[in-house]
């Protein structure tokens, strides 16, 4: 029970396949008190039904792209008694910008992907940092990234640029919030079948590639990401900040 007595906010649960849901389940098993958010009415029922399976879990509305909703959430969490852990598992890009020639991405597609997928981490960290300050063991912020941030992965395109911005933001936030004893890290997950991945061009090939070439010769699942998230959320990782930790069966270390 490495998270006993800690309060965690998990942003980005859409359904039972969400990586954020794997993280929430691992946190609950390790004794954390949870707050999940839903983006809109379409996802509200899903998230509330999932939350009911983890007794004591709070559910709040928060669309990170709607002005004022992040600040309003911070206000409600202050009354909850503050926060120890923040998980950002939010990303979006237009389908038409996740395929084809990268050079054709229009400014609109750039803005959408970077605003939703990278700026939202900064907005959430800024709003939640005051709730994490001065807590026993300090605070832990984490987000999810993908290999396409540091390699040109076919079709990942603008999301690769957005994830590169997210990883750089992780380092700047770590430098910024370190003096307040708040750590900021990212988990680079291998490909996982989620709602986001559904229908993405070349996704099935990516799963096959990992199975054939990764050192561990298997794909990862939400539970493996969840358990690394529990490590990053816990005092076991108190010396770790500004890092990108790969949960990818070792895929990214392989040359040929
Ligand atoms: C988004 C989507 C972010 C899919 C994502 C993502 N991060 C990882 N994936 C899965 C993926 C996507 C592609 C890929 C490999 C893995 C879709 C919605 C927007 C946010 O290329 C081979 C394109």
Q: What's phi and psi for 113, nearest 5 deg?
A: -65, -45
- 8 A C-beta contact, residue 25 and residue 226: yes
Residue 198 CA to ligand 1 center (angstroms) comes to 9
> Under 8 Å CB-to-CB from 1, ≥6 apart: which residues?
30, 31
Q: How far is CA 52 from CA 56, 59, 106, in A?
A: 8, 10, 42
Architecture of domain 7-247: 3-Layer(aba) Sandwich (3.40)
Full-model pTM: 0.98
Per-residue pLDDT, 202? 87
Q: How far is CA 132 from CA 24, 37, 216, in A?
A: 19, 18, 37
- Whether residue 102 has its Cβ less than 6 Å from ligand 1: no
Tokens describing residue 102: 């990268």
**Pick the catalytic residue: 6, 7, 38, 163?**
163
Does 6 participate in catalysis according to the annotation? no
- Whether residue 206 has its Cβ less than 6 Å from ligand 1: yes
34-76 pLDDT tens trace? 999 999 999 999 999 999 999 999 999 999 999 899 999 999 9
143-170 pLDDT tens trace? 999 999 999 999 999 999 999 999 999 9
- Whether residue 149 has its Cβ less than 6 Å from ligand 1: no
Q: Which residue lies with its CA nearest to atom 13 of ligand 1?
A: 156
Q: Which of 196, 209, 246, 251 to mutate to test the pocket of ligand 1 (most atoms within 8 A of CB)?
A: 196
Q: Provide the residue ranges of all domains of the chain, joining segments of one domain with +.
A: 7-247
- Whether residue 162 has its Cβ less than 6 Å from ligand 1: no
- Whether residue 92 has its Cβ less than 6 Å from ligand 1: yes
216-236 pLDDT tens trace? 999 999 999 999 999 999 999
**Pick the catalytic residue: 38, 156, 246, 251?**
156
């Amino acid at each position: 029970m490495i998270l006993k007595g800690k309060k965690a906010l998990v942003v980005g649960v859409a359904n039972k396949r969400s990586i954020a849901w794997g993280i929430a389940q691992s946190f609950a098993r390790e004794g954390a008190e949870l707050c999940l958010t839903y983006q809109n009415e379409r996802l509200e029922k899903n998230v509330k039904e999932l939350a009911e399976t983890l007794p004591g879990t709070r559910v709040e509305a928060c669309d990170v792209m709607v002005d004022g909703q992040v600040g309003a959430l911070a206000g409600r969490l202050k009354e909850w008694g503050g926060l120890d852990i923040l998980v950002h598992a939010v990303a979006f890009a237009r389908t038409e910008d996740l395929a084809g020639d990268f050079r054709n991405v229009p400014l609109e597609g750039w803005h959408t992907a970077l605003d939703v997928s990278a700026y939202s981490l900064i907005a959430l960290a800024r709003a939640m940092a005051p709730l994490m300050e001065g807590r026993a063991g300090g605070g832990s912020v984490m987000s999810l990234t993908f290999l396409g941030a540091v390699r040109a992965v076919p079709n990942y395109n603008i999301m690769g640029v957005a994830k590169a911005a997210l990883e750089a933001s992780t380092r700047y936030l770590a430098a910024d919030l370190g003096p307040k004893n708040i750590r900021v890290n990212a988990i680079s997950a291998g490909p996982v079948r989620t709602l986001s991945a559904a229908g993405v061009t070349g996704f099935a090939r990516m799963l096959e590639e990992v199975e054939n070439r990764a050192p561990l010769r298997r794909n990862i699942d939400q539970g493996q990401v969840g358990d690394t998230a529990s490590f990053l959320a816990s005092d076991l990782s108190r010396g770790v900040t500004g890092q990108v930790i790969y949960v990818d069966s070792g895929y990214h270390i392989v040359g040929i």
